[in-house]
Amino acid sequence: MTAFDRDTLIRVALTPDDTIHAPAILGDEIHRAVRATPQRRPWLEVPRLGWPLQHSPLFLILLLAMLLVLLLGSLIVLSRLPAPARLTTYHGGPERTGVMAGPGPQGHPVIAWEAQRNGAFRVTIMPIVAKGRVFVADDSGTVGALDESDGDALWEASVGSPIRASPVWVDGLVVVGSDSGAVVALSETDGGEAWRFVAAGPVSASLAAVERTVYVGSEDTHLYALDAASGQLKWSLPVGGPITRGPAISGGVVYVGARGGRLSAVDAAGRATLWSVELGDGDVGTPAVSEGVVYVGRGIEAPAASPHDLVALSTHDGSLLWSFVSPAGRQVHLGAVGNDLIYAVSEDNSVYGLDRGTGRVVWGHETEGRVGSLAALVDGVLYVSSTDGTVRALGAATGTLHWTIAVEGEPTMPAVINGRVLVGTTRGKVHAIGGTEVVP
């Protein structure tokens, strides 16, 4: 068969005339023609240049090398990207300085979202944030996970007893203490219980975690160190009185106060008390530790004649460096620790900026309600909750009011992260305060 005859047969086969009938041998002829035609093609061809790579191994090697360089470059860039911001511990971190992950809201404050929970929030509690979730614990005994972007409930779990202290997040677990003495670890994903430890008394002090160890203060007078993964007890130590405020941890030392006025420094590795000092009647507040100094409020719920001041102590031996008493003599708490100033919040309705070295007042700002919770510090802005139902942003250097916003109920200690301020309230609400770019 000639090439012309073969082409004619194929054309007729593809678009036959109604009067034409294909010969019986057409299929065999097409099959033989296809087999006789070279079918091999280059296994890889650059369309624009038309280079058959099977004939150019050097080009193939260069191309593979370029792809490998691009892959390695992408991995390096990804490894250097900042990890998602987290705020896993009450008052900002185990040192309890109040310095938050940030950033705070920009511009005019607005309520970005709000969520109603099962119970009220104690003003001494704080929401914690990890992996795009806000974890909150209320006095109904419920722990909940909310979507950080819109406040939608993702899961909730009951621990069976009221919760008066902030939980802590560690290695994918949300660990919380309760009035029954139970310390419960819940999965960050679905709230499933991972482990449970039971102390001999209520756990009303906020938890702390360092190097996969959870530190728990109990009203049974003991400080407990638990393995974060299993809840197994590593050690326990009596500290001379019920623990009602969370411990602070810095440089391998745990600083913990007890009812009756004792503040102790405990070696976390050696399980021994390094020193202890007696600060007078009443409870000792949550300590904050920075650059060799422990700042702590004393005389909480003590008789009026007792000191209700803020003291600065040496981490070396607990010796007194200075004391700040509010003009009205009302209770003072450590609000936050900055580079040049520390910040005191007082039940005389005022916030004070104090010189770190002397405790001298640099500025004061008066609110319209008692300041009973600690403050948050981010990028030169101090965030303060007040019992008048407001959250305020103050210039940390001067105390100048940047903005104030009202919430429903008395707000808890603020958590500042990812452009928002998060607070719970005594009416069981969680508010996320965001900001607009332009102040009207």
| pLDDT, tens only, 40-98 | 555 444 444 454 544 566 666 776 777 776 777 655 644 454 556 899 999 999 999 99
Tell whether the model's pLDDT for residue 342 goes beyond 80. yes
Tell whether the model's pLDDT for residue 21 goes beyond 90. no
pLDDT at 33: 59
> Are both 270 and 144 inside the same structural domain?
yes
> Are both 70 and 96 inside the same structural domain?
no
Q: Using alpha carbons only, what angle is made at residue 239 by residues 233 and 243, rounded to the nearest 5 degrees? A: 85
Give the Cα separation of 334 and 295 in Å (integer): 7
> Are both 35 and 168 inside the same structural domain?
no
Give the Cα separation of 322 and 30 in Å (integer): 103
CATH no. for residue 101? 2.130.10.10
Strand locations in 262-386, DSSP E? 262-267, 272-278, 288-290, 293-297, 310-314, 320-324, 332-337, 341-346, 350-355, 361-366, 376-378, 381-386
pLDDT at 44: 45
Helix axes 3-14, 26-36, angle to 10 degrees: 120
Answer whether residue 156 is part of any domain: yes
User: Confidence class of residue 15 from pLDDT cuts 50, 70 and 90?
Assistant: low
> Are both 114 and 57 inside the same structural domain?
no
Tell whether the model's pLDDT for residue 118 goes beyond 70. yes
> Are both 199 and 219 inside the same structural domain?
yes
Tell whether the model's pLDDT for residue 332 goes beyond 60. yes
Answer whether residue 21 is part of any domain: yes
Count of structural domains within the chain: 2
> Are both 357 and 430 inside the same structural domain?
yes
* Cα-to-chain-centroid distance, residue 109: 21
Answer whether residue 35 is part of any domain: yes
Tell whether the model's pLDDT for residue 4 goes beyond 80. no
Taking residues 155-172, report their average pLDDT.
96
Answer whether residue 85 is part of any domain: no
> Are both 52 and 134 inside the same structural domain?
no
Answer whether residue 416 is part of any domain: yes
Answer whether residue 264 is part of any domain: yes
Domain that holds residue 365: 90-435
Quick check: helix, strand or coil at residue 236?
strand
> Are both 69 and 94 inside the same structural domain?
no
Strand locations in 117-261, DSSP E? 128-130, 133-137, 142-147, 153-158, 168-170, 173-177, 182-187, 193-198, 208-210, 213-217, 222-227, 233-238, 248-250, 253-257
Average per-residue pLDDT in the chain? 88
Taking residues 30-38, report their average pLDDT.
59
Of 80, 114, 138, which residue is a domain's last? Answer: 80
Tell whether the model's pLDDT for residue 251 goes beyond 90. yes
pLDDT at 311: 98
Taking residues 370-391, report their average pLDDT.
92
Of 23, 48, 80, which residue is a domain's last? Answer: 80
Tell whether the model's pLDDT for residue 215 goes beyond 60. yes
> Are both 371 and 266 inside the same structural domain?
yes
> Are both 121 and 255 inside the same structural domain?
yes
Answer whether residue 242 is part of any domain: yes
Q: Is 151 exposed, middle or buried (0-12, 13-18, 19+ CB in 10 A)?
A: middle
> Are both 227 and 167 inside the same structural domain?
yes
How many residues make up the chain in this entry? 440
Structure tokens at 53: 């790579």
pLDDT at 43: 45
Tell whether the model's pLDDT for residue 161 goes beyond 50. yes
> Are both 190 and 324 inside the same structural domain?
yes
Answer whether residue 307 is part of any domain: yes
- Tell me how crowded residue 285 is: count the other CB atoms within 10 A of its CB: 27
**pTM given for the model:** 0.81
Of 80, 103, 135, which residue is a domain's last? Answer: 80
